[in-house]
Structure 1
């Protein structure tokens, strides 16, 4: 249960104050903020620059009595400090009158023509593939990564809140961010040390984790992996930088001139290299863009330093701030290598500056570069033990030797603080509540009770339905797991049950055996690709509200056993033997068919052997036990190919038949215009079978928008033995609505979808199924429908308007329908 811990439960530690702290805002004489002004402690080299709103924060371990504030075209302001801690200062800069004639003030849109910044940008484009490690055949380096989460914007009301009763000691010492100027309290820290090897000729890269240290939460690999995936690796030279499932346009992108204004601000030596300083800012609001500046070398056109701050108007939920810094080292006259990458994000339910939130900070350092040391291709393909417990138990001496920057005093306190908090009963209670909301299970000893979100349901066969279940849970790396459920329908007055067990025999190859039994009511007309998941249950079977009568339900008694193995990473081969019986669950739905003697049967008994191949390249998982958690869900393609053989006269089997099926799912980031999801499914049954074994085109009679189903189709409206299905759904992410002034501030997102299916049904199958009294029809003309939708309503709701494309003359068809969906997304 702990493996799905949400961000808002990452609590508490303590920190120490520096000697001198100062924060505030820099304005001109007209009261307008001065962005990118220099703020430096007097007679020192310790300084910072203001953000786009003129705000700054600066601290030092030394005592200072003044700051210098300056910017091109303004007089130097020496601002006295009367105390060690000075917050919310307002510094006013006066224009330098005698130099006004030499100063060019840039505002609004800059010209693409004759702009020296654009000339430099084109040089960067021409040389970007020749910089860094890409200039060598092979490379290797050491990588140190530090992830930290902090509770921020702490005020007296939060400190006095009843929720922290008994935990007041965490507030003893609080610090302030030098990026946002807000107070914060570190609550979680994780450190990782790795060796990275790459070969540009083979196009291979391998990262070997050598050490990992976590502040509490029982070395939770899922939490760590989730956070790392949220802060994905990125390259500022790429056209688009992906964070939080959104594609931000990079200021170095070839399309950057369409969304950014560029200004050549300065030139100077940076580490003995002459560089140009370019400031950039968005041309329009509400787009996924940044503000900031970068320094670029005048001969190699490689980036020396860059900072990026996400536009505050960007269509992004729950994230109030994104700030990135990268620094590059000069290896020789022509090679610039990244040495430091800093990423800060400010999560909050509200974007107001004074609202409480959580900082997420990642610092990645790179060192000990070596080049042109070749390794065999087998080195990159070789699988290593996915979980070595020693990696998570490294002694302090290991970290003292390998940390590339020392922990600050407040960061060191995180480890001690979490150890203390874990002993406090109130903290344990808060932890368990949050974990239950995140995972859907409530832990009682070594048993997880749930999932709590499926306790109640309704359908025409069972009426009101109650379901309770549980599973064993000793740790996220359990080698075996048992899961059970029991359910009762108040209309049919029948008990249902399910039990499933699985055991991981070999961790390296993930050789697993599994088996179980389920006796339940199911809507088998809601999906095309068959599932042998014993405890699986789709939403269509238990939706509380449906469109029309959801009466075409089947009583399923399924027993399954099999094994699976992953011969290579993300490729699974699964062999399953099943035995199931199928019969109608309502009086208004029939599965009757002719048997081989011409008699009429209403129950199907069928054993099957199923061989399936599942391939999901680039999928990332956490956990090393029998069950794993996918941490980049919807971010990788999925391929499935399956072959099923029905066995007649084995265990009383009724039919002998063959079936093949295939599925391909692919999400696509389409640059700055959103995210596209595509699915193609195909299948064929080669022998006559009854309705319960055919392939119904998936209908959707619920009020939910369910991907891979046809919203304006009733269940079993189309049935086939040969089918081809295609689904496309594109989310523009607010790209269009952001152009409409009165809609812009709502941050709504446009969604369009197209769905189509072609199928056929043989004369033999039509004849075999005549006794059921249904007029079986296949979409031989190709059925299609389309939809338009509006997402991000109140940040959590989406509504779709669905239109039927053809077969409009069929009786009682639904030409139009409205569905919705709740969910949390960035």
Structure 2
């Protein structure tokens, strides 16, 4: 009886929202599915295209009587709709007669003498002078709504014991107008803003007026993930970046090689004569779309466009991706974006019946104004990034500033979600998800978080098994101050380690932050060119359970730091600080950090005490962040990072041992190379002026673990090369399956090919070699010729693992040289 009531409830909900719904599959006479067939309600522009398997879903707010299914080369089928809801239809298209005066396009379309491609070339010519590009300045209002929903809600899910006490949530079940699946909202965010731009200054400024959230609003890790999913894009660009992948735009100049285009129709759209062009992929497994677009016959500006990602595209966890954009005609020649809708169906499996989560973003643009110039200072002037009034707007504000009204179901989402968070069982589930995403467990009443839980256990040859516990203060996602700390204990050395950090933001606009911390721990310093200043974490190499050779070159470090940082302007940070470090070998019997010290007993000292002043400039152009407190989360990962650091060691201050100067430069650049994948380049250079011992030199970062760690050399042991002057370049390119996707027996596995090249040149002065002579190590640098490695890897194995095969290019005659290495890593990537 309960199942019957649940089914009736779902049916009533679906009928209440849409008047006509149809779904089914299209076949040819031989029973083979027909992809990319046109399906629409006769006499309307409401339609869709079948996917690669011939499947379709379509709905209308109005009652429709006839469904029309067609494809050039086949006889059009008109199917009467006797009911408002008709699912699992089977439509068979019969090959029709080809008339002499009609050109019929079937399968792969020709690139020559194709009117659709002629129109596409006109779009390319005009795109630079269409839309906002026609004006010197522009201004518009923007409203954005992001929603996440649990989908495929059925009676089995409703009756699951996990929802006991939460049955009221199913009152908000709705049906997707894209897939026809039921869904339940679990998160919603609305924002209202004004956007100003100046094409002459190449400047744009967005001023947020209101922001409203319900759901997992306190979890910045989740929110930054959401923001990164829905980055801005332009359909006129050659590539559309989604999920860290570059999809070929159907309007791309390279689209001719990857898409079939068919001129399907022409008619008036909003009193403008437009052509309708249908497009679909030439090959499977590529990052492409299928759909159609309407384009004006004089301006060649796009009026509407629909894009649905190919189901065979090499993207993990995304079962469906649908994009719809509508452009408004402001006058005879100006087409501007009016509505942008993106819907993605996230699921662990791509089977049709599998459950998942919808991610939906709707953006509305309105009230365009042009050529109203503002001073350059307007775009340079900073606004308060966190105005509490923006996040506490009244219902009257939203009633006025919503450019698209919420439907009845959406209006109930806020109440439902706020009520849901008071249910103990939901709070338990929410906390479990929060722990997995952030790594911290929240103690709300204490305003404390425990974690990171993933650092609880570790291992090295000094400590043996290491147990660690830590935590942080956490009042809200925008705390102006934060305390963090940890305690750790090694079961072999029976010693307690600890770290403590304090940070306080004095000015939110300029991000003026003061910080201090102290740490006593064991660290593998041979895994980085830069001395560690982190008082809370350690390199992975310090705790690796399995290593290629003995991981015994560990350092016992006591570190105390203090710093002040300030943002001169967005993404440009100045940091000045000081640190005091005491370093000695953690295993002096096998690894020595001794150096010549005439003032020490016997003329040898095995401990370095060093006070240093550090000045650093960091520039991260294009970086977008979330959060307005002392902590921020990156929204995107495609920005470059440039760091210039100057370190001055001062002898005698706090009994410091050495005078020296160290200059370092760091540059990291991720780059999406169109449809050829993603390349990451890392460049580092540095020089030490003055004599310093091994503990203060720059070891070339080795990697004796079996894990792939970027910016290390997998075939080098720790401290195999040591320098005081160095230049290092590392490049890694992920083709994202572009090559494997064209090999028949491999393409279904969605594997991704990865290649890497790493090289370093360095030198070491004789003075520094002699200073560290008591250590008994033969210090060498790759000075005669640059050391290099190359690697080949396979990623996306079972969607979670990669394996890399690295080869040593030279210095093969060095004692204990490893000519070949195999490393792997777990990667959760789209």
TM score, norm. by length of structure 1: 0.95
State whether residues 575 and 612 of structure 1, in contact with CA within 8 Å, keep that contact through their aligned partners in structure 2: yes
How far, CA to CA, are the matches of 2:395 and 2:564 in structure 1?
Answer: 42
Counting only pairs closer than 5 Å after superposition, residues 401-416 of structure 1 correspond to structure 2 as 401-416=400-415
Deviation at 1:220, TM superposition (A): 5.7
Residues 453-487 of structure 1, C-alpha deviation per residue, up to 9 Å, x if partnerless?
11111111111111111111111111111111111
CA distances 1:527-574 after superposition (whole Å, capped 9, x unpaired): 012332221310011111111000001100001112111121111111
Contact 2:172 2:185 in 1 (8 A): no
Query: Retained in 1: the 8 A contact 2:687–2:726?
Result: yes
Aligned to 1:819: 823
SS of the aligned residue for 2:138 comes to: strand
Q: 2:628 aligns with which of 617, 624, 629?
A: 624
* Count of paired positions: 807
Deviation digits for residues 74-109 of structure 1, max 9, x if unmatched? Answer: 355242324x44332334556666x76665443332
Distance 2:607 2:799 in 1: 47
1:606 corresponds to which of 604, 610, 614: 610
Residue aligning to 1:17: 16
Which residue of the partner structure matches residue 710 of structure 2?
A: 707
Q: Structure 1's 127 and 184: CA in aligned 2 closer, same or farther, altered over 3 A?
A: same
Matched, 1:793 2:825: no
Taking the aligned partners of 1:65 and 1:810, their CA distance within structure 2 comes to 79
Q: How does 1:306-345 map onto structure 2 within 5 Å?
A: 306-345=305-344
Alpha-carbon contact 2:20-2:64 (below 8 Å) kept: no
For 2:685, the equivalent position in structure 1 comes to: 682
2:806 corresponds to? 802
Distance 2:60 2:743 in 1: 46
Change (3 A) 1:556 1:102: same
Q: Is the 8 A contact 1:261 1:282 kept in 2?
A: yes
With a CA cutoff of 8 Å and minimum separation of 6, indicate the structure with the bigger relative contact order: 1
Residue 317 of structure 1, CA deviation: 0.2
Deviation at 1:267, TM superposition (A): 1.6
Q: Residues 688 and 18 of structure 1: is their aligned pair in 2 closer, same or farther, counting only changes over 3 Å? A: same
Match of 2:750 among 742, 747, 751: 747
Distance in structure 2 (CA, Å) of the matches to 1:27 and 1:651: 81
Q: Which residue of 1 aligns with 2:537?
A: 536
Preserved CA contact (<8 Å) 1:550 1:701:
yes
Unaligned runs of 5+ in 1: 1-13
Greater displacement, 294-303 / 803-812: 294-303
Partner of 2:8: none
Mean Cα displacement is larger for which, 661-670 or 508-517?
508-517
Residue 354 (str. 1) matches residue 357 (str. 2): no
Which residue in 1 is equivalent to 2:517?
516
Segment of structure 1 superposing worse, 724-733 or 439-448: 439-448
Separation in 2, partners of 1:636, 1:296: 34
Deviates more, 1:203-212 or 1:65-74: 65-74
Alignment of 1:161-240 (within 5 A): 161-172=160-171, 174-218=173-217, 223-240=222-239
Contact kept, 8 Å, 1:26 with 1:34, in 2: the verdict is no
SS in structure 2 of the partner of residue 607 of structure 1: strand
SS in 2 for 1:745: helix
Partner Cα distance (1:765, 1:349) in 2: 55
* Alignment correspondent of 1:574: 575
- RMSD, aligned CA: 1.9
Structure 2 Cα separation of the partners of residues 469 and 28 of structure 1: 60
| Matches of 1:103 and 1:360, distance apart in 2 | 42
CA deviation string 1:310-334 (max 9, x = no partner): 1111000000111111111222222
CA distance in 2, matches of 1:117, 1:422: 53
Output one character per residue of 1:254-307: Cα deviation in whole Å (capped at 9) or x when no partner: 111111111111221212222211111111111111111111111111111111
Q: How far did 1:217 drift?
A: 3.4
Counterpart mapping for 1:42-441 below 5 A: 45=44, 47-52=46-51, 53-59=53-59, 64=63, 66-71=65-70, 74-75=75-76, 77-82=78-83, 84-92=84-92, 104-172=103-171, 174-218=173-217, 223-441=222-440
What is aligned with 2:776?
Answer: 773
For 2:704 and 2:76, how far apart are their aligned partners in 1? 70
For 1:179 and 1:523, how far apart are their aligned partners in 2?
53
| Cα 1:553/1:347, change in 2 over 3 Å | same
Q: Secondary structure at the match of 1:365?
A: strand
TM-score normalised over the length of structure 2: 0.94
Distance 1:420 1:211 in 2: 23
**For each residue in 1:682-727, what CA deviation from the matched residue of structure 2 results, as whole angstroms up to 9, or x when unmatched?**
0011101010000000000011100000000000000000000000
* Secondary structure class of the residue paired with 1:257: helix
In structure 1, the partner of 2:7 is none
